[in-house]
Structure 1
C-alpha cells in the first residue's frame, strides 16, 4: 500500500508540475484566459470591462504588453488607450511597448471586451524589459458591466465603499478558463511589435458629416466622410441604462443592410457614450443599424507603414470547391432584427 500511495502522490505532483514547466515556454508564461461569469448556454452579445490594479516601485526603462481577446478588445493603461485587436484562429498576440505610460506606485489596466456570441476569452501579460512580471490575467481581475470614466482613468476604487451612492458600479471576480493551451485558442505566439496607440496616429481624427437619419425600422443612421478614409472608427451615441446592440455596415457606396453583410458589430456598455473600433477599416460610408441615437462619427487615421499589419485577417471561403455556404445570422443580427417586425428578405419589410 505504501508503494501505491507513493505512486499516486508522485503522479499528483507531476500533474501539477507539468503546467508550471510548460508555462515557462509560453509567451504569456502563467497568464490565464479569463472572461465574465455567465451561463455557457447564453449566446446573447456582451460587452464589459476587465480591470486590474497593480503597483510598480521603480518604473522600468522598458515594458511590453502581450495581449489578445476573443472576440475583440480595446486596452487602456492608466487612462490611455494603448492597443486594440481581435482574435481569429491563427492570430498572434499583439505586442506593444508601454513603458512610457507606467508610473511609480498605483497603475491600472482596463480592457473593454466584446463578444457578439456571448462566449469569449481574454489573455494578457505585462512584463518589463527583462521579462519580469508586472501584471497578468487571472481570477484577481475585476469585471464591470457598466461604463464609468473613473474606472478607465483610474480614480474610482475597484472596491465599493459602504456609503457609495448606487450609481457607483460594483465589480465581480473574473472567471478563469485556465492557462494556455486551452479551448480553441491553442498556444499563444507573440507577433511583431506594433507602436502604442498614440504613436500609431497620423494626424487628427477625421469627422464625418452630420449624420443622416433614415426613416426605417430598426433605426438606421448613415455617416458620410465625402471620400474614402482609412483608420479606426469611433461612434458617439446617447448613453442608455442597458447594453446597446447594433450592426455596422461600411463601404465606399451607401450600404444596403438588407443585401449586404455587416462589417462588424457595435456594442455600447450601459452609460457608455463612445464605441471605438478594435480594427481599422477603409470606407467612405458607415451605416449604424439598431442604435437609436448615434450623434457623430470620426475616423482616426494611422501610420500608413503600419496599417497593413492591423487589417483583419481575410480567410478563403469554406465549403465544397471553395464555394462558401449561405451565411447564417449571428446572435447580434438576431438581436437587432428580432426587435422589429421588419426582417431582411421577408415580404413587407421596409
Structure 2
C-alpha cells in the first residue's frame, strides 16, 4: 500500500477539521473559478428572487478544487440547512429514501462522489429530483405495494471527479453543471494569502509564489504545503517565511519545484533511465518503482501527463523532452517521442487518454 502523498489531491481524515476552518463561507470569498462563480451566483440570486429552492447543481472536476466548499457556500447563500452524504454510503434505495424523507423544505443535500451511488438508488433519485416524490415499495413478490411519498422541495448538489460515469438521465436532471478547472499560480497565491491570515503566518510575496508553484494547481494541496512550511519554520524558529525558507521546507518534504514528489520522480526516472524513455507498459513501470499499477496510474501519471513530462501511446508510456530537461539529463537522439511523432504525424501530441486503449495501456512492451 502506498504511503500518503503530500501532493495528493485527496483529503486525509485528520486534516478535515483544519480544511473546514480555512474554507470560505461565502461566494465572494471563494478564490478562483470565476466562470463557475459568476454562473452560480446568478442561479442562486434568481432562486432567491423567486422565493424557491435553487435548481439542482452538479459540480465536477479533479479532487481538491473546492466542490465541497461550494456546496457549503450554496447552503449558506440560500440560508438553508445542509445535509452531507456520499455515493458510496448509499448502496440501497432504502438508504436514499431514509435521507430524502427526512429533508426539510429548502434543505441542501450534498452527495459527494455521486457517480459511485448504486443503480437502484440512482433510479429512485430521478423521480425525487424531478417531481419531489419517491415510491416506497412495501412487501415482496406479487403482494408488493408501492406507496408514493411526497418530498418537500430541496436542492441536490452532486459532486463527482468522473462526470463521464454519470448516466445521461441523472446528469440531465441537474439544472446547473459547473466544471472546476485547475488554478493558476496567481490564484493559488490569493488562496495562500487568505489561509496565511487565518493561520497567523508571516509570509513574503516570494514565499507565496514558491509554495503556489509547487501546489499542482490545487488549493487543497497549497494549504497542505503551507501548513508543512509553517511547521518547518516553527521548528527552525523562523518568524517570516520567504522563498528560500519555503523552498528549503518543501525540499525536505521531497516536493520539487514543479510539484513532483518521490513517486512522481521515481516513475519519471525509471521511464528515462531504465527503459530508455519508453514506450513501456504500465505494469512494467509500476514494478520498476515498487508500486501497484493502480497507484502509478491514478496518483502519479495524471500530473506527469498534464505537465507534459509523460505521454501515453497505444504501445505504452513515453518520456517527453521536458522530462529529460527536468531530470537534468541529456536528450538522446533516438528518444521515443520521435517515434510518437512518426506514428501520429508531424507536430502531433502523443495519443490522448482514450478508454478504448486502456487494455493496450496495461500491456507490457518489454
- TM class by shorter chain equals under 0.3
Which is strand-richer, 1 or 2? 1
TM-score in terms of structure 2 length: 0.23
Greater CA radius of gyration, 1 or 2? 2
Which is helix-richer, 1 or 2? 2
Structure scoring higher RCO (CA < 8 A, sep ≥ 6) equals 1
TM-score in terms of structure 1 length: 0.24
